[in-house]
Amino acid sequence: MAIISSKDNKRIKDAKKLYQKKYRTTSYLIEGLHLYQEAVQAGARFKQIFVTEKFAHIPEATLVSQEVMRFLSDTETPQGLIAEVAFPSCHEQAEELQKVLILENVQDPGNVGTMIRTADAAGFDGVVVTGGSADIYAPKVLRTMQGAHFHLPIFQENEAQALYQRLKAQDMTLIATTLSPASVDYRKLVRPEKFALIMGNEGAGIASETEKTADILAHIVMPGRAESLNVAVAAGIVMFSLTDD
């Protein structure tokens, strides 16, 4: 079996570019056995799979040296498996879903990934990530999502306000979270049949336009002294309060 042992190899150099958003037009990289297995189960299409000796048994894999794997990896201790996965060719529409999480301008990749993972656990059926948020195919987002993007559809949407209008026209209730105690205590929410939960930016919260557009504004009552919660923790608390019994 041939082995790629040079970092200057064109396939390696081209693959590494996929860590930059501008090169991710048709595919992205995933790393590690767990995500690879999730991708296989989801029927994802692989463009190429780079492995070290340890994973040489994987079908269609291309063997690379440890040094090339370290070069190609986004982590400090590479597991020895990096796959290039094609973007799904068609998507459902966000409008057809019942229970959607919307991330409005959430910037930290770890927060974006964790919230999508939580939405998957809570039984939401889709996620929309609006412009200004971390790119969902960035390595850190993929690591923290732990394969959730293979379980539920994720949309990227530049025009948040236009999306909200479309969702409202489809009888979807928009619930936006705020820090304001003048809004509804999340524990008093009666779960609508079709709804979207909007989580805002780490520092600034939801946009002021969103505050006007949303059907319901809700907040988490905090009996303690901290002024706010991490957005991913807040999202988890509200999402699980809106799960089925």
Is 109 an interacting residue with respect to a copy of itself (CB under 8 A)?
A: no
Binding residue for a copy of itself (CB under 8 A) from 8, 60, 76, 244? 244
Residue 56 CB, nearest approach to a copy of itself (Å):
26
Query: Cβ of residue 116: shortest distance to a copy of itself, in angstroms?
Result: 9
Taking CB atoms within 8 Å and a gap of at least 24, the contacts of 50-55 are 50/4, 50/12, 50/15, 50/81, 50/82, 50/83, 51/80, 51/81, 51/82, 52/78, 52/80, 52/81, 53/80, 54/80, 55/80, 55/81
By CB under 8 A, residue 118 contacts a copy of itself: yes
Binding a copy of itself (rule: CB under 8 A), the pick from 28, 36, 50, 124 is 124
SS3 label, residue 218: strand
Per DSSP, the chain holds a count of helices (H) and strands (E) of 8, 12
The window from 48-56, 78-86, 119-127, 173-181 that contacts a copy of itself (CB under 8 A) reads: 119-127
Give the residues across from 199 on adjacent strands: 103
Site for a copy of itself in 138-167 (CB under 8 A): 144, 146-148, 151-152
- The reply to whether 177 sits near a copy of itself by the rule CB under 8 A is no
Cβ neighbors of 203 (< 8 A, separation 6 or more) are none
| C-alpha dihedral sign at 50, 53, 56, 62 | positive
The letter for the amino acid at 222 is M
Nearer to a copy of itself, 205 or 236 (CB): 236
Among 1, 2, 182, 226, indicate the residue that binds a copy of itself (CB under 8 A): 226
Which of residues 190 and 221 has its CB atom nearest to a copy of itself in the complex?
221
Q: Does 184 bind a copy of itself (CB under 8 A)?
A: no
